Structure 1
Amino acid sequence: MRDSAPGKTPIWKAIADTLRSDLAEGRYRPGDKLPTEALLAERFGVNRHTVRHSLSALVDEGLVRTRRGAGAFVAAIPTDYPIGKRVRFYDNLVAAGRAPEKRILHLTERAATEGEARALGIEAGAPVCAFHGLSLADGQPIAVFESLFPLSRLPHITATLQQEHSVTAALQEVGVTDYTRASTRLTAVRATAAQALHLQVNEGDPLLRSSGVNVDTQGVAVEYGRTWFAGDRVTLTLEG
C-alpha cells in the first residue's frame, strides 16, 4: 500500500478504517491482542510509523488500548457494575451479561493497620485475614481487590476462602447468612506497577478505587474491602 496521492485518503487513515472494519465484523473479540506493528506493516505494505499512527487513532476513539512492551489490544465494552447496599460481584456481572471469575493472588493472615482496624471496629494490630484477588469478566481482568476479615469474629474464614473463592459463599459457611454495604468511598488513582501487570494496563493509567465496609444483619462489620477497577472497563453505578 503506497502513499496516497494529493486529495486521496491518507494511508494511515485507510489502515485505521480497515482495522475498524475488522473490529466491527468481529474478527477480533474484546480483549484480543492485535497483530504486531511489524505484521501489520507487512500486511499493508507500509512502515511501522504509519501503522503506529493508525493505531493511535483507534486508541483515541477508545477502540484499542496499548500496553507498553505488550502490544495493542481490542478495548472491551465497559461492564455496568452497580454499587449499593447489596454489592455482589457474581450477580453484578451475570446481570450485565458477563461471565464472572475470581482468582486468588494472595491469602494470608496479618495485623490490621490503624485505618483498617478503625473501618472494622477492632483494635489496631488485631489479626485479620487478607484476601487479595483478581476479578475478571469474560476472561478479561477488570479489577484487583483486597478484602479484610476480622479473625476475632470469623476465625475460620481463611481456610474457608482457600476452598471457596466467593466471599458471599465463604461468609455463609462461617455463619454470616447475609451482609450489606454500610459505606462506600470512590477515589481516582493511578495504577502501580503490580496493579498494571495484573490488569494488563500501563503503569500510571487511571483506576477507580472503591473502599467499603460490609456489615452483618446485626450491623457488625465483617469485611473491609478495597477494589481497584480498570477505568476503561467498568461503569460504576451508585444505587440508593
Structure 2
Amino acid sequence: MSPKKPKWREVADHFANEIAEGKYRPGDQLPMIRELVAQGHGSKTTVMAAYSALEAEGLVTTTRGHGTTVRRRPPQQIRRHQDRYNWEKQLAKRGDGERRNNGVVEKDTGLDHDEVECHAAFNAVPADQEVAARFGVEPGTLMLHRHYWHSTPGSPIALSLINSYLVHAVAARNPDLLDSSREPWPGGTHHQLSTIGIEIAEIEDGIRTRLAAPDEARHLGIPAGSPVLLLDKTSRSTAGEVVEYSHVVLPGDRTEFRYTVPLDRWED
C-alpha cells in the first residue's frame, strides 16, 4: 500500500491537473491563498507549500502583491543529437531556398520557420584559459564570440542561450562570417564553415546540470534557482582540428535529450 500523500502535495497535484486540463490557462491567476484556506484546503503553510512546489515545477509564477499565475511556457525542445547533427550537416549542401526555410531550432521544437526569431550579437574577444585549451591555442588568441538566442515572435523568453566561439583569423577568411546582421545564416555553422573550406567531421557533446544564474533564469523565463542543462559542444574538422566550440544553456523544465546509439554486432 503506497504511503498517503502529504496535504500540500495533494493541493499541488490538484492544481497541476487542472492546469494540464486547461481549466487554468497561461496568464490565469490561481485562487488566493486565503481563499483556499477558507475553503478548507489546508492551513496557510500547507497552501504556500503547494504553490511553492508548483513554482519549482515551472507551472506557475508567484509575484508579491500580484498572486500566483500560470506560466506562459515556450515550446518543449526534444534534441535528438545524433539525428540532429547529421541533418544539419546535410542541410548545408542543399539549395539556398531550402536552407533559408529550415533550421535545427524548428526541428527541435516543431515550430514553423516563421514562428522562430533569431537574435545574435558578435564580438572579437581574447581567448580565456578554457576556450584556449579547447582550441589548442594560446590564451589571448583573438576569437569570434557569437551570442545567440531564439524566441517565438514578440516573446522576451529565450528558448536557449548559446555562446559560440571560432578562431577569429579563421572566420575572417570570409568577412561575411563576422557580420551578425546576416543571422540567421541559411544552413547554420556547417554552411558557414563550408564557405572557407572546412567540413565538420565530428561533434563531441558534454552535458551537465547546475542551478540557473539570476540573469539566465530571467532570460529563459524560469523561476530563480531552477535547474538548467549545460551543453558543451565541440566540433572538429576532417583534419582533426577544433573549429567551433559552443556553450549552450537550456531550461531544465522544457528540454529533453534523446539518443539512439547503434551498437557494433558481435562477430560470429
Same fold (TM over 0.5): yes
Letter in 1 for 2:169: S
- For the 8 Å contact 2:117–2:152, the answer to whether it is kept is no
* Structure 1 unaligned residues grouped into runs of 5+: 1-9
- For the 8 Å contact 2:75–2:109, the answer to whether it is kept is no
Residues 17-32 of structure 1 correspond to what in structure 2 (within 5 A)? 17=14, 20-21=17-18, 23-25=20-22, 28=25, 32=26
2:241 is the alignment partner of 1:220: yes
2:103 is the alignment partner of 1:90: yes
- 1:80 maps to which residue? 78
Residues 141-156 of structure 1 correspond to what in structure 2 (within 5 A)? 141-155=158-172, 156=175
Change (3 A) 1:33 1:152: same
2:51 to 48, 55, 60: 55
1:166-207 Cα shifts (integer Å, max 9, x gaps): 484365356157535431111112211211111122333211
Give aligned-pair identity as a percent. 14
- After TM superposition, the score normalised by the length of structure 2 is 0.64
2:131 is the alignment partner of 1:116: yes
Change (3 A) 1:237 1:152: same
What secondary structure sits across from 1:153 in the alignment?
helix
In structure 1, distance between residues paired with 2:201 and 2:161: 21
1:28-53 Cα shifts (integer Å, max 9, x gaps): 2xxx3332x6xx339x6867958645
Cα RMSD over matched residues? 4.0
- 2:3 maps to which residue? none
More helix by percentage? 2
- For the 8 Å contact 2:58–2:222, the answer to whether it is kept is no
- For the 8 Å contact 1:113–1:125, the answer to whether it is kept is yes
In structure 2, distance between residues paired with 1:123 and 1:239: 37
- For the 8 Å contact 2:120–2:183, the answer to whether it is kept is no
* Structure 2 unaligned residues grouped into runs of 5+: 1-6, 89-101, 262-268
- For the 8 Å contact 2:79–2:256, the answer to whether it is kept is yes
Task: For residue 129 of structure 1, report the CA deviation from its aligned partner.
Answer: 1.1
What secondary structure sits across from 1:204 in the alignment?
coil
86-95 or 177-186, which moves further after superposition?
Answer: 86-95
Change (3 A) 1:34 1:219: farther
143-152 or 129-138, which moves further after superposition?
Answer: 129-138
2:65 is the alignment partner of 1:64: no
In structure 2, distance between residues paired with 1:205 and 1:130: 26
Residues 89-238 of structure 1 correspond to what in structure 2 (within 5 A)? 90-91=103-104, 93-94=106-107, 96-99=109-112, 101=116, 103-104=118-119, 106-136=121-151, 140-155=157-172, 156=175, 159-166=178-185, 168-169=187-188, 172-173=191-192, 175=195, 178-238=199-259
- For the 8 Å contact 2:143–2:168, the answer to whether it is kept is yes
- For the 8 Å contact 1:132–1:145, the answer to whether it is kept is yes
- 1:6 maps to which residue? none
Change (3 A) 1:205 1:57: closer
- For the 8 Å contact 1:55–1:64, the answer to whether it is kept is no
What secondary structure sits across from 1:94 in the alignment?
helix
More strand by percentage? 1
In structure 2, distance between residues paired with 1:189 and 1:33: 28
In structure 1, distance between residues paired with 2:128 and 2:15: 53
1:50-97 Cα shifts (integer Å, max 9, x gaps): 86455346457x471436668541556742112238535933642552
In structure 1, distance between residues paired with 2:75 and 2:47: 24
